[in-house]
Structure 1
């Protein structure tokens, strides 16, 4: 299993845990025997030197056992923490490689839960298993051997209690597994609602939906609580029942042991030692039962982790990728694409060519497939049929790294990472100089408000760019793409949050720096696309027209409707 591979580097640590546990238990098993000798030999005979020697030996053995068990805790914790770190890294790396389509199969909320809560569950149980589940079987077997060796006649008392405890563990474990699986799914649901409420807090307040969202959260929270209570009820019943069995076992041992002492068959020291061994045996069973309760929950978490690790990405590099050497020309040839589970294609038989030194604009109504079309170029999705070519090479035959290195992509929803503005802009080109950064900011019409900041380009950006307006974030996203100086620029409705004046100034500056590149712009406003070398009109996923602004205004009905509707809006404003 993939999830067990990260344990291989910790083989020496696990071996150390087992050996140290074995050594510690052997010393602990000797202590009751030495105590019995103190009573039966030292105290009965009044031999004080023997009592002191044996007592001193007991203290020494106990001290060594403490050191060994400390080592067990150290190596177990180091192994569990390292294992958790490696699993989180494997999950993160695997998810990073997912295509958008693969990513959407699991969802953001579930992936966060699997990378944090589920890994924590597995990590904690691994730590417990190394510390307790290696100790319990060794102590159980060693305790039984020592007890039977000292007093075979009394062994039947606690051996009768073992089947009762084993049956209890089996019943609890069988009922716990489906509950733990359900609990993890309800953790996903709770995490999803919390994430939606935190990220959508402005919308919730704007529409006065706080009470509705609170009720939705309360329902999910109560569902999670009820399942958790069911699990805890099992554990609440299990441990008192075990303690009752243990206490009655001890009563029976003392009762029958007293009878044997009265008959002269058994000595007091032996009874004391036997009680200690029976306690060790029963305590080891309690540790095992605790493990059997926790393991199902860890198994549920591990299955969810393995599911993500085993997910096969539907977009991968070819074994022998083709090199792409050219000027950045992009061609769509009979491209059809549909989302998984969709009834009909989002794009149908799309064909056009975007050439170097030209601007190709894509316009159409909402839902016509504009953004989807743009995302096929860097292979965020793969086409269903047809092909997308960059400089004559099918993008599926290129390595994704080489393909995307040729592009500067500005997404529809501008996203900035927490950190300094400098770090965000160098995301496009980590070797960019400060002069190049200011040049890109000037072109993107963002330098003015950045110069107003005391820290300048070292201004701290909050998570998601929360301390910036929508237009500011769009301009910084454009600057990030410009710093890369790519062969192909992809603008996915990247000017929607800009006012008309800023939009015009930005496009004028862009035309100067992108004159030797291929530019593909998705836009809603006619004013943004009217200067493009060619405009592609999309209608319900199909090409409804291709031409310049003047050609389409004169000949294309759909484009005419778009122009007329926006002209009417401007007049109304």
Structure 2
């Protein structure tokens, strides 16, 4: 990992600015529920149309600033990721050119092609996602919990329970999926290897009338790859439904607790709306 990260040295500025602008976007996003709460408690309760319009203008302004920060962060993240993958691909090609014939035969041409194309593209996407979401996601999650604590401690206990449950689901699915993705990569290498063999040895295959056998073997390898990809996709697809279930159940509990707190006069209706918005932002 350290060797790979050395290719980001030329993009230190982008690696700092991309998360920074994402944090700015998240900060402005955390202020929106407070504006909504003030609209409900002050504007709607007092039937003050002017106040409502002013607060709506502030919300629009926050949205525009957040959009500008998000686009800027995406620009710097994409620039760093593309430059990183370019350098990595160049160094990988130079390394492959320096391998002996024995090492090339052991690794296999299909594996080399996969490393140069698909693997580098995956790493590029990973760098892009890390620069954009690595700091933003924890900041939003814990920021929403802190803002909820400033509104009402009792209602914020729902966040304290929900966030660990979400962490268990997300990291559990990731821990199970990562080894399976390695198997998918190996299956992809086998499919590419068989494809290359058929392309380079097409005349030999035809001369010995092995078209049917080669087609059947390719279909078997392709079916194995398809089965692995479908299984991993279904497993990864469980993350969204499970997180939505946890969040929606937490919102139900939050509304119930918030309703009790409103009846006792501890918090206002607008603050309950803000708490629900903070819970939704965790997703």
Please say whether Structure 1 and Structure 2 have the same fold, judged by a TM-score greater than 0.5: yes
Between Structure 1 and Structure 2, whose CA radius of gyration is higher? 1
**Is 1:177–2:184 an aligned residue pair?**
no
Counterpart in the other structure of 2:32: 31
Counterpart in the other structure of 2:114: 113
CA contact (8 A) 2:25 2:66 kept: yes
> Aligned to 1:45, what secondary structure does the other structure show?
coil
| Alpha-carbon distance between aligned partners in 2 of 1:64 and 1:172, rounded to the nearest angstrom | 34
Partner deviation per Cα, 1:449-482 (whole Å, 9 max, x = no partner): xxxxxxxxxxxxxxxxxxxxxxxxxxxxxxxxxx
- Structure 1 residue 219 displacement after superposition: 1.2
> Aligned to 2:45, what secondary structure does the other structure show?
helix
| Alpha-carbon distance between aligned partners in 1 of 2:232 and 2:110, rounded to the nearest angstrom | 24
Shifted more, 221-230 versus 97-106: the winner is 97-106
Counterpart in the other structure of 1:232: 233
Counterpart in the other structure of 2:131: 130
Pairs within 5 Å for 1:337-416: none
Pairs within 5 Å for 1:428-447: none
Counterpart in the other structure of 1:194: 195
**Is 1:218–2:224 an aligned residue pair?**
no
> Aligned to 2:238, what secondary structure does the other structure show?
helix
Counterpart in the other structure of 2:255: 254
Paired residues, what number?
282
- Structure 1 residue 47 displacement after superposition: 2.6
The TM-score normalised by the length of structure 1 is 0.48
- Structure 1 residue 206 displacement after superposition: 2.2
| Alpha-carbon distance between aligned partners in 2 of 1:100 and 1:174, rounded to the nearest angstrom | 37
Partner deviation per Cα, 1:405-447 (whole Å, 9 max, x = no partner): xxxxxxxxxxxxxxxxxxxxxxxxxxxxxxxxxxxxxxxxxxx
Partner deviation per Cα, 1:149-194 (whole Å, 9 max, x = no partner): 1121101123212222222223222222221111111111111001
Partner deviation per Cα, 1:278-305 (whole Å, 9 max, x = no partner): 1112x1xxxxxxxxxxxxxxxxxxxxxx
| Alpha-carbon distance between aligned partners in 2 of 1:60 and 1:181, rounded to the nearest angstrom | 45
> Aligned to 2:265, what secondary structure does the other structure show?
coil
The TM-score normalised by the length of structure 2 is 0.95
- Structure 1 residue 250 displacement after superposition: 0.8
Give unmatched runs, 5+ long, in structure 2: none
| Alpha-carbon distance between aligned partners in 1 of 2:115 and 2:244, rounded to the nearest angstrom | 35
- Tell me which of the two structures has the higher relative contact order, counting C-alpha pairs closer than 8 angstroms and 6 or more residues apart: 2
Partner deviation per Cα, 1:350-396 (whole Å, 9 max, x = no partner): xxxxxxxxxxxxxxxxxxxxxxxxxxxxxxxxxxxxxxxxxxxxxxx
Counterpart in the other structure of 1:148: 149
CA contact (8 A) 2:39 2:55 kept: yes
Counterpart in the other structure of 1:41: 42
| Alpha-carbon distance between aligned partners in 1 of 2:10 and 2:46, rounded to the nearest angstrom | 55
Shifted more, 73-82 versus 84-93: the winner is 73-82
Pairs within 5 Å for 1:150-169: 150-169=151-170
| Alpha-carbon distance between aligned partners in 2 of 1:38 and 1:137, rounded to the nearest angstrom | 28
- Structure 1 residue 114 displacement after superposition: 0.7
| Alpha-carbon distance between aligned partners in 2 of 1:108 and 1:235, rounded to the nearest angstrom | 30
Pairs within 5 Å for 1:445-456: none
Partner deviation per Cα, 1:518-539 (whole Å, 9 max, x = no partner): xxxxxxxxxxxxxxxxxxxxxx
Counterpart in the other structure of 1:272: 273
Partner deviation per Cα, 1:94-136 (whole Å, 9 max, x = no partner): 1112222332231211111111111111111111222222210
More helix by share: 2
| Alpha-carbon distance between aligned partners in 1 of 2:166 and 2:29, rounded to the nearest angstrom | 23
- Structure 1 residue 30 displacement after superposition: 0.9
Counterpart in the other structure of 1:91: 92
Counterpart in the other structure of 2:5: 4
**Is 1:100–2:101 an aligned residue pair?**
yes
Counterpart in the other structure of 1:372: none
More strand by share: 1
**Is 1:53–2:29 an aligned residue pair?**
no
CA contact (8 A) 2:15 2:131 kept: yes
| Alpha-carbon distance between aligned partners in 2 of 1:174 and 1:180, rounded to the nearest angstrom | 11
| Alpha-carbon distance between aligned partners in 1 of 2:81 and 2:94, rounded to the nearest angstrom | 20
| Alpha-carbon distance between aligned partners in 2 of 1:63 and 1:174, rounded to the nearest angstrom | 37
Partner deviation per Cα, 1:197-248 (whole Å, 9 max, x = no partner): 1111122122221110011101111111121122112122222111111111
Counterpart in the other structure of 2:69: 68
| Alpha-carbon distance between aligned partners in 1 of 2:36 and 2:60, rounded to the nearest angstrom | 11
- Structure 1 residue 195 displacement after superposition: 0.7
| Alpha-carbon distance between aligned partners in 1 of 2:22 and 2:205, rounded to the nearest angstrom | 56
CA contact (8 A) 2:141 2:163 kept: no
Give unmatched runs, 5+ long, in structure 1: 284-573
